[in-house]
Amino acid sequence: MSRKMLFILFTSWASLCVVSVSLAVTLDTSGTYPYPVYCHEITSIEASFNMDRSNYTFQGYCDGNFLKGPYIIAASWKKADKKALEVVQFVVNSNPDTTHEAYFTSTCTDDPWLNPSAQCSCVATSGSLLGLVAPNCPFSPTHLRANQIASLNQQYQQYFGTPPETPLNLTAETTSITKITLTWQDVSNKEEGFSIERKKEGETTPHTINVEKNTTSYTDSDLAYNTTYHYRIRSYFNSMMSDYSNEAVANTQFFDPDLPNYFKYHAPTDLSAEYDTATKTIHLEWKDNATIEGGFKIDRKKAGGPYVIQYSVPQNSTSYDDGDYESNTTYTYRVCAFREGLESTEYSNEASATTPIKEQTGGAKPDQLKLFHNAGAFSGFFPPMKFKIKVLSSESVKLIWIDKNDNEMGYKIERKTEGGSYVLIKTTAKDEEQFIDQNLQPQTVYYYRIKAFTSDKESPYSKEIKVQTKGKKASAKKDKSVKSSQP
């Protein structure tokens, strides 16, 4: 005989009368006969786990003289804030149009679906089904049989107690004299990331590179030319490592450094300079003729003065907007390509532009592009470019930048208030170029800066930007809810 479990219908006619209106079912209107509903034991259980939460789905069926149908309980345990969540659905007479729901939020000392001894207290309840559901909160753990709890614990231990699956089919393809691109198949559903090991031909100690989870490719750059590299990869999870993948081997493209002036005479050409009234900057353009440069140096001088290394920009750049200048002044520019360990190229042709009489401001500032090229050394790793901030409301601002790196793991965003110290507020994924900072104070001054990072190095900081949020009154009509991942 089935036992009454998860749902308890009020047995008085008064209670059923209220239900009948919302459920649109036919009942005896005499009001003299009770119509109990009996819910059978949980017959189907599904569980899934990750580092942040455990998710459960329980299903069963309820019988009654007039009210019957399946029930589904979706539950989750959030480890970080020790919250247990339940959503109960009761499909009356198997008609989706008469589905009723109840919602339960509890705080618990442990996952109540894995640990029957966990102590819980109810935080919030809501939903049209509340009057029909057993009142304990959470209630579904108390209706699990011992063998069902044991099965859930076994699945939990299987997930967290075993290493992730091994990446498959690692390949290595040479893409230039200094770059090799790796690809692999991600077959794990729980890795926290991947560890790539690289070593040169003949070396015994590998260099390790960590990349994010769900990644299936990586471009290894700044390698030695005409050199053989060996790679292998494994995934990691919960302090456990998978087995190694197959080994992949590639040789960077041939380059003969003894070829006379090979790099030196691949200088930029067709340099032009023009004051742009729209952006209020001096716009530079040139043709990139080098194939292995680490970046470009931009020299600038005033009439009659000496050249000064003004800016450094990333490889493959063909333009730059100079926004740091004096009014009514003629500036002359030249550009060369550079690479660590090699002599810089010859300079390009010269190009000049004159600023307006009235001083204009805009574009990049000197601190936006800190000079990376220092005494011939270049890190090959750039900070965010053209960093700017747009004030959205009294509580939010939008940060925008340009990603000029191809090997960063992400960007670190730091913020401070007037007179305070910088604090890390967000670490983004790679290739991201914007972030919305929310929950700020109205009419408050904030400072921001950003830098790129990998597992073993960081770029210089971007320029620092000062912004002030809007006042409550000024932004009341414009404030909207903006979705954003908060740190």
Chain segment 148-183, per-residue pLDDT in tens: 999 999 999 999 999 999 999 999 999 877 889 999
Same domain, 281 and 405: no
- Compute the average pLDDT of residues 181-209: 93
User: How many Cβ atoms from other residues are within 10 Å of residue 38's Cβ?
Assistant: 17
Exposure on the CB side of residue 34, measured as CA atoms within 13 A: 8
Same domain, 187 and 203: yes
The pLDDT value recorded for residue 186 is 95
**CATH assignment of the domain containing 185:** 2.60.40.10
Same domain, 143 and 226: no
Same domain, 93 and 54: yes
Max distance between CA atoms of the chain, in angstroms, equals: 107
Same domain, 308 and 350: yes
Which of 82-96, 161-175, 333-347, 378-392 is most confident? 161-175
Structure tokens at 171: 């390949």
The pLDDT value recorded for residue 373 is 36
The pLDDT value recorded for residue 152 is 92
Q: Is residue 4 part of a domain?
A: no
Percentage of the chain beyond pLDDT 90 is 32
- The secondary structure element, H or E, covering residue 18 is helix 13-23
Residue with tokens 């929950």: 439
Same domain, 205 and 307: no
Q: pLDDT-derived band of residue 339, with 50, 70 and 90 as boundaries?
A: confident
Same domain, 126 and 180: no
Domain endpoint, select from 127, 160, 193: 160
Q: Is residue 389 part of a domain?
A: yes
Q: Is residue 299 part of a domain?
A: yes
Q: pLDDT-derived band of residue 346, with 50, 70 and 90 as boundaries?
A: confident
> What DSSP assignment string belongs to 371-437?
---BTTB--S--PPEEEEEEE-SSS-EEEEEE---SS--EEEEEEEETT---EEEEEPPTT--EEEE
The pLDDT value recorded for residue 456 is 74
The pLDDT value recorded for residue 273 is 93
**Contacting residues for 131 by C-beta, under 8 A, at least 6 apart:** 10, 15, 18, 19
Residue 7 has pLDDT above 60, yes or no: no
The pLDDT value recorded for residue 12 is 28
Q: Is residue 264 part of a domain?
A: no
Q: Is residue 259 part of a domain?
A: no
Chain segment 423-469, per-residue pLDDT in tens: 888 888 888 889 989 888 888 999 999 988 887 778 878 888 899 98
The pLDDT value recorded for residue 259 is 53
**Contacting residues for 302 by C-beta, under 8 A, at least 6 apart:** 329, 330, 331, 332
d(CA 18, CA 4): 22
Which of 126-130, 189-193, 279-283, 435-439 shows the lowest per-residue confidence on average (mean pLDDT)? 126-130
Structural domain that includes position 35: 13-160
Percentage of the chain beyond pLDDT 70 is 79
The pLDDT value recorded for residue 24 is 23
The pLDDT value recorded for residue 316 is 84
Under 8 Å between Cβ of 453 and 410: yes
Same domain, 221 and 285: no
The pLDDT value recorded for residue 37 is 67
Q: Is residue 481 part of a domain?
A: no
Chain segment 306-321, per-residue pLDDT in tens: 998 878 888 888 999 9
Domain endpoint, select from 338, 369, 400: 369
Which of 100-104, 133-137, 177-181, 330-334 shows the lowest per-residue confidence on average (mean pLDDT)? 133-137
Q: Is residue 223 part of a domain?
A: yes
- Compute the average pLDDT of residues 26-34: 31
The pLDDT value recorded for residue 377 is 35
Same domain, 144 and 189: no
pTM for the predicted model, two decimal places: 0.47
Same domain, 247 and 275: no
Residue 134 has pLDDT above 70, yes or no: no
What is the rounded average pLDDT for all residues in the chain? Answer: 79
The pLDDT value recorded for residue 110 is 94
Q: pLDDT-derived band of residue 32, with 50, 70 and 90 as boundaries?
A: very low
Report CA-CA distances (Å) from 313 to 293, 371, 374: 11, 9, 13
Which of 142-146, 163-167, 203-207, 319-323 shows the lowest per-residue confidence on average (mean pLDDT)? 142-146
Provide the domain count of the chain. 4
Same domain, 155 and 37: yes
Nearest CA to 200 out of 228, 181, 171 is that of 228
Q: Is residue 279 part of a domain?
A: yes
Write phi, then psi, for 167 (nearest 5 degrees): -60, 145
Residue 230 has pLDDT above 90, yes or no: yes
Structure tokens at 253: 């493209």
Domain endpoint, select from 133, 160, 187: 160
Same domain, 273 and 362: yes
